Structure 1
Amino acid sequence: MRIAFVGKGGSGKTTLSALFARHLARSGAPVLAIDGDINQHLAQALAPGEDAPRTPPPLGPGLPGIKTFLRGTNPRITTSDSMIKTTPPGRGSRLLRLLGDDELHTRHVSRAGGVPLMVTGEFDESDLGVACYHSKLGAVELYLGHLVDGPGEYVVVDMTAGADAFASGLFTRFDLTFLVAEPTRKGVSVYRQYRDHAREFGIRIAVVGNKVTGEDDLLFLKEQVGDDLLTHLVHSDWVRAAEQGRAPSQAPGSPDSPDPLEPHNRHALNVLRETVDAQSRDWDRLHRHAVEFHLRNARAWADARTGEALAAQVDPDFVPGPAALD
């Protein structure tokens, strides 16, 4: 399952992404966390007891090599330079298994807090005024487009804040999107934007209330988001200590220590996993959206930039899903 955490800046989506990824890893499930936020803080959230957790080589600067690798022998892609972030896989493309023994995973995955991690990379000075952060997210979009993950495997992505995720087709690449909302009008305003856009594409959104301090906060969220409210988390002394650099050396839920999270918050994480596990993968829908956004990008800018008609990259006979591995 592919899960995105989204929400207003400061809502706690990075913290929840880390808590959920660790929760899955503690159970022994194969899980990959991806930091897709312009503010690259997921490694610190995964390993709060470490001053400078190790991060892997970022995906963004490695995009040319990633394109070459994923292109494989696909005859519909003339060169790796003509491959854009939305180019869908076809016959001959190199497909990936989660955390497989291949050069992409070997180079771009390290561990933080015991959880395998990929990062897109920071928005640095060389990007100022000349680049869009979504160009770095293109590597994540290509990765998910070529990934054939199986039952009981999880990819957890900490997305950009606000409605920025809709600047690309990446938002359609997930099985479930958790929108983290504080009990404030600003907190739920992002939810309304996501709800309206996601409904058009059949993307399921579940709201996770965060920083809930009492019944009034919970009632506010219920009134604002209705049945989309899945669960909520309350103030966590452990999380606050971690954010202040006072966290114990062991992360919550690590295999060799009791989980220091509060019982209610542990229950909320269980609800998230149960909800994810109840989803079914629709490979046809994922591929259909990938093709649709590829054609949109081709018409809007990519044909002119590459000098090619990129609609030709779509393989009408490609069958997405596990069968493609054969």
Structure 2
Amino acid sequence: MKIAFVGKGGSGKTTLSSLFIRHLTANEAPVVAVDADINQHLGAALGLDDTAAATLPAMGAHLPLIKEYLRGTNPRISSADSMIKTTPPGEGSRLLRVCENNPVYDACARPVALDDGEIRLMATGPFSESDLGVACYHSKVGAVELCLNHLVDGPHEYVVVDMTAGSDSFASGMFTRFDMTFLVAEPTRKGVSVYRQYKEYARDFGISLKVVGNKVQGRDDVEFLRDEVGEDLLVTVGHSEWVRAMEKGRPARFELLEADNRCALQTMQDTAEDSYELRDWERYTRQMVHFHLRNAENWGNAKTGVDLAAQVDPAFVLSEALALPQPS
């Protein structure tokens, strides 16, 4: 299943993403983690030192390889150059699977050892000074969106994406790729205002959205969040000495995370798994095509010089069966 963590800057979404990833690994779930934030901090939150975090390969730098691999033998795609971030898979396309080796993972993913196992970590790459005035955040995450469009996941497999702060997460169709979106909100007016924005965007597309209250200090904070977001409040997380030590670069073993916080993470996992069971694969594919056609009309056709609507394979539907390993 695919999980997104969103929220305003400073809400703690990267910290909660990293805790959730550690929790999944402790539960022996295979995980592909993606840092899709403008500010790349997920690697550090997972224990990488500054050098290792800085040398993570940028997915955007490998976009030509990603396109060529995913295109496969799809006859509707004349060349990798004609693919854009929303290009959907069709007959002949290569798909990515969580538990496999492939050239995309070889180029863009790096193993990260945690206390209870190993994950794959991918990153969009930082927004550098050379990008100012000539690129935007969405140019960085195009490779992530293309990979998510071509990634099929089975039950108990996880793709966890730490999204950028604020409402930019909804500026492309990528927000429809997730079975569950966890919005990390502080018990403040600003925290819940971000929730209202996300809720409005998500409503029209049937997005499953739950609020994780963070930095909660007492019953009044919980009641405030409950009053503001209602039943969308799933769990709350308070002060953590384990997290404080982790942020200093000296974490204890994950098994020593406070029991209340471990219970909150388990509730999040259970909720995500319930949401995955409700996934409508036809709607999931249809939404992908919807955003591709919108992008094609608005800018893609002009940029590529190709009628990108012709890339849509009307008979193709992603399905759980495709998540099974394929013969090489």
**TM-score, normalization by structure 1:** 0.94
Note the alpha carbon deviations across 1:131-174, whole angstroms, 9 max, x for none: 01111211111111111111110011000001001111100000
Query: 2:170: which partner in 1?
Result: 166
Q: Distance in 1 between matches of 2:113 and 2:224?
A: 35
Query: 1:255: which partner in 2?
Result: none
How far off is 1:113 after superposition?
4.2
SS state at 2:152 partner: coil
Matched AA of 1:271? T
Farther-moved stretch of structure 1 (201-210 vs 56-65):
56-65
Matched AA of 2:44? Q
Q: Distance in 2 between matches of 1:310 and 1:204?
A: 29
Query: 1:193: which partner in 2?
Result: 197
Corresponding position: 1:203 with 2:207 = yes
Query: 2:298: which partner in 1?
Result: 300
Q: Distance in 1 between matches of 2:50 and 2:288?
A: 39
Structure 1 spans left out of the alignment, 5+ residues: 253-258
Query: 1:28: which partner in 2?
Result: 28
Matched AA of 1:304? A
Query: 2:123: which partner in 1?
Result: 119
Query: 2:8: which partner in 1?
Result: 8
Q: Contact conserved, 1:85 with 1:139, CA < 8 A, in 2?
A: yes
Farther-moved stretch of structure 1 (279-288 vs 85-94):
279-288
Q: Contact conserved, 1:173 with 1:286, CA < 8 A, in 2?
A: yes
Q: Distance in 2 between matches of 1:91 and 1:103?
A: 20
Farther-moved stretch of structure 1 (104-113 vs 76-85):
104-113
Q: Contact conserved, 2:62 with 2:107, CA < 8 A, in 1?
A: no
Query: 2:311: which partner in 1?
Result: 313
Q: Contact conserved, 1:53 with 1:112, CA < 8 A, in 2?
A: no
Query: 2:181: which partner in 1?
Result: 177
Instruction: Show the 5 A alignment for 1:28-47.
Output: 28-47=28-47
Matched AA of 1:21? I
Q: Distance in 2 between matches of 1:74 and 1:86?
A: 15
Note the alpha carbon deviations across 1:299-322, whole angstroms, 9 max, x for none: 111111111111000001112114
Q: Distance in 2 between matches of 1:86 and 1:297?
A: 7
Query: Alignment length, in residue pairs?
Result: 317
Corresponding position: 1:213 with 2:217 = yes
Note the alpha carbon deviations across 1:242-277, whole angstroms, 9 max, x for none: 2233x23x552xxxxxx2211111110011011111
SS state at 2:91 partner: coil
Corresponding position: 1:270 with 2:274 = no
How far off is 1:241 after superposition?
2.2
Find runs of 4+ consecutive structure 1 residues off by over 3 angstroms: 50-56, 322-326
Instruction: Show the 5 A alignment for 1:98-109.
Output: 98-109=98-109
Instruction: Show the 5 A alignment for 1:121-136.
Output: 121-136=125-140
Matched AA of 2:306? E
Q: Distance in 2 between matches of 1:324 and 1:149?
A: 8
Q: Contact conserved, 2:35 with 2:163, CA < 8 A, in 1?
A: yes
Query: 1:157: which partner in 2?
Result: 161
Query: 1:256: which partner in 2?
Result: none
For the structure 1 residues 51 and 80, does the alpha-carbon distance in structure 2 shift closer, same or farther, using more than 3 Å as the test?
closer
**TM-score, normalization by structure 2:** 0.93
Structure 2 spans left out of the alignment, 5+ residues: none
Q: Distance in 2 between matches of 1:170 and 1:126?
A: 25
Note the alpha carbon deviations across 1:33-70, whole angstroms, 9 max, x for none: 1100000000000116x454455312111111111111
When the two chains are superposed, the root-mean-square deviation of aligned CA atoms in Å is 1.5
Q: Distance in 2 between matches of 1:47 and 1:324?
A: 33
Q: Distance in 2 between matches of 1:119 and 1:26?
A: 22
Matched AA of 2:122? M
Q: Contact conserved, 1:172 with 1:201, CA < 8 A, in 2?
A: yes
Query: 1:17: which partner in 2?
Result: 17
For the structure 1 residues 278 and 322, does the alpha-carbon distance in structure 2 shift closer, same or farther, using more than 3 Å as the test?
closer
Matched AA of 1:200? D
SS state at 1:61 partner: helix
Matched AA of 1:301? W
